[in-house]
Amino acid sequence: MTFILILLPLFSGGKAKAEAVTDPKSFEFENGEIINYRKGHKNIVIPLEIDGEKVTKIGKGSFAYINLKSVEIPRSITEIKDFAFSGNNLKNIKIPDSVNKIGFHAFYNNTMETLNLPEGVNEIGDSAFASNNLEEVKIPDSVTKIEEEAFTNNNLEKIKIPDSAMNIEKEAFDDNVEKIFK
**Tell me, which fold does domain 4-8+23-181 have in CATH?**
3.80.10
pTM of structure? 0.86
> Going by C-beta distance under 8 Å and a sequence separation of 6 or more, which residues neighbour residue 39?
21, 23, 26
- Considering the chain, what is the average pLDDT of its residues? 87
Of 7 and 136, more confident: 136
CB 99 within 8 A of CB 120: yes
Q: Please report the pLDDT score of residue 8 as a whole number.
A: 37
Q: Please report the pLDDT score of residue 38 as a whole number.
A: 87
Q: Please report the pLDDT score of residue 85 as a whole number.
A: 98
Of 127 and 20, more confident: 127
Spell 61-92 as b/e; 16+ CB within 10 A means b. bbbbebebebbebbebbbbbbbbbbbbbebee
Q: Please report the pLDDT score of residue 53 as a whole number.
A: 97
> Going by C-beta distance under 8 Å and a sequence separation of 6 or more, which residues neighbour residue 72?
20, 44, 45, 46, 94
Domain boundaries, the chain: 4-8+23-181
Confidence band (pLDDT; 50, 70, 90) for 20?
low
Q: Please report the pLDDT score of residue 31 as a whole number.
A: 97
User: Is the confidence at residue 4, as pLDDT, over 80?
Assistant: no
Confidence band (pLDDT; 50, 70, 90) for 1?
very low
